[in-house]
Homo-oligomer: A and B are copies of this chain.
Amino acid sequence: MTVVAAGSRGGRSQDVRRGNLSSLLTYVHVHGPTARSRLTAVLGLNRSTIGDLTGELVAAGLVREEPGRAEQADRASSGGRPSYVVTPESELIQVLAVDVGVTSLTVARIGLGGAVLSRRDHRHRRAAHGHRGVTTAIATVGAELLGEIGGEVTVVGVGVAVPGTVRRRDGQVRQAPNLGWEDAPLGAALSDRLGLPVSVGNDADLGIRAEHMRGAAAGVADAVFLSGRSGIGAGVIAGGRPLGGRAGYAGEVGHTVINPGGLPCHCGSRGCWETECGEERLFELAGRPAGGGLRGVREVVAAAAGGDVVARAALENVAVWLGRGAANVVNVLNPEVVIVGGALEEVFAAAEPTVRAELETAALAALLEQVCIVAPHLGADATLVGAAELAFDALLGDPLLDLSRCPAS
């Protein structure tokens, strides 16, 4: 953790102060309650500066200070004195986070610090799949959640995860083949409905963001989050930074051709990875109805464990394709960690030997020996937590910005 070098962009003390406030608030947001003495050490600032910065954040209602028992190392660095602990105001500073799936959506209130305070899981009806229907559903559920809180709470924004390519500037969903959306103005429509700044991002990009910040890829410079839902997307950290490509659309691994003679895909192509390895393929092979979502995947896994040979064969089939596709990801990106999320986590846990056997066949040894395949530490909430991070961006970047007067554009 280093202090934002805002001073280098002009050296003005106001920029330096803003950068330091941002660094301090971001640190406690990511790491939780932290002794002042520890902040002094990790931010490389002196005690009195940390005291001043904390005071400003307390006055703004973003953190509170409590006397705390500092850890051994912190006691040493503070000369044995007890240190105040700086704690993010999780209950007072909140965002709405939204995770849009194909058959369901989740809306949650998430507090500064990353805790899920309240949530609603909402099942789509087919008729509601259009982006207008989904916008209405989000706005309705979001209003319910906002109705739970008192006037002392500030909601600083809304972050939305969508399985598709998203224009970040205005939250326009360019293509979401599994939702059947093209050029859906989700960000603008939702902002109108909720009266809050809304940011929209790709689900896999937000999954890797959350796992890189607080999960299985913390401290890792090269990592991939495979988001397995109806489709498959990848969020990528390369060289410590998000891999976006020209417009932020990188990571559409679900639409890479892996079986040219295979099944037709929503995207108009054929034999895309997600047609062989997505939830719907598993349901089809297992002889179950479409649209079962994560719950349906878990039912197939449970059936296979209970001796259902059709379910077992379906899982093994999909596991082969998971291994092949994961090998492609490894060969192209040489990651240190590949996180298999959503339905893919269930498939991996249930048929790991099959996945690994395919990986060993298809990934080059020099790359395979460097990678760990793991489940998300944040479980099924990785994407939701990532959506919250998107909504916290403006506040964390400039903690004293009055968001009610300056909504994010």
Q: Determine whether A404 belongs to the interface, using a CB cutoff of 8 Å to chain B.
A: no
CB within 8 A of A328: which of B177, B257, B335?
A: B257
Stretch from A103-111, A282-290, A299-307, A361-369 that touches the partner: A361-369
CA distance A336 to B247 in the complex (A): 9
CA distance A367 to B267 in the complex (A): 12
Q: Using Cβ atoms and an 8 Å threshold, which residues of chain B touch A247?
A: 334, 366-367, 370
Flag if A246 contacts B269 (CB, 8 Å): no
Stretch from A88-96, A146-154, A235-243, A380-388 that touches the partner: A235-243
Stretch from A32-40, A79-87, A248-256 that touches the partner: A248-256
Flag if B331 contacts A252 (CB, 8 Å): yes
CA distance A239 to B333 in the complex (A): 14
* Binary B-proximity of A347-388 (CB < 8 A = 1, otherwise 0): 000000000000001111111001100000000000000000
CA distance A109 to B238 in the complex (A): 34
Flag if A239 contacts B244 (CB, 8 Å): yes
Q: Which residue of B lies closest to A328 (CB)?
A: B256
Q: Determine whether A245 belongs to the interface, using a CB cutoff of 8 Å to chain B.
A: yes
* Min distance, Cβ A195 to any Cβ of chain B, angstroms: 29
Q: Determine whether A174 belongs to the interface, using a CB cutoff of 8 Å to chain B.
A: yes
Q: Which residue of B lies closest to A8 (CB)?
A: B8
Flag if B267 contacts A364 (CB, 8 Å): yes
* Min distance, Cβ A4 to any Cβ of chain B, angstroms: 14
Flag if A248 contacts B328 (CB, 8 Å): no
Flag if B364 contacts A175 (CB, 8 Å): yes
Flag if B246 contacts A222 (CB, 8 Å): yes
Flag if B366 contacts A165 (CB, 8 Å): yes
Q: Which residue of B lies closest to A269 (CB)?
A: B362
* Binary B-proximity of A163-178 (CB < 8 A = 1, otherwise 0): 0010000000011010
- Whether A364 contacts B245 in the complex (CB less than 8 A), given A332-B332, A334-B250, comes out as no
Flag if B258 contacts A257 (CB, 8 Å): yes
CA distance A364 to B366 in the complex (A): 31
Flag if A246 contacts B175 (CB, 8 Å): no
CB within 8 A of A335: which of B246, B334, B336, B367?
A: B246
Flag if B165 contacts A246 (CB, 8 Å): no
| Besides A177-B364, A239-B243, A332-B332, 20 other A-B contacts (C-beta < 8 A) | A8-B8, A238-B245, A243-B333, A244-B334, A245-B333, A246-B335, A247-B370, A248-B334, A249-B370, A250-B333, A251-B332, A251-B334, A252-B331, A255-B331, A255-B364, A257-B258, A257-B327, A258-B258, A260-B324, A268-B361
25 A-B pairs, CB-CB below 8 angstroms? A165-B364, A165-B366, A238-B238, A238-B243, A238-B245, A245-B333, A245-B334, A245-B335, A245-B367, A247-B366, A248-B334, A249-B367, A250-B332, A250-B334, A251-B334, A252-B367, A255-B331, A256-B256, A256-B328, A256-B331, A256-B332, A257-B327, A257-B328, A269-B327, A269-B362
Q: Which 8 A-B pairs give the minimum distances between C-beta atoms?
A: A245-B334, A250-B334, A256-B328, A252-B331, A174-B366, A249-B334, A246-B336, A269-B362
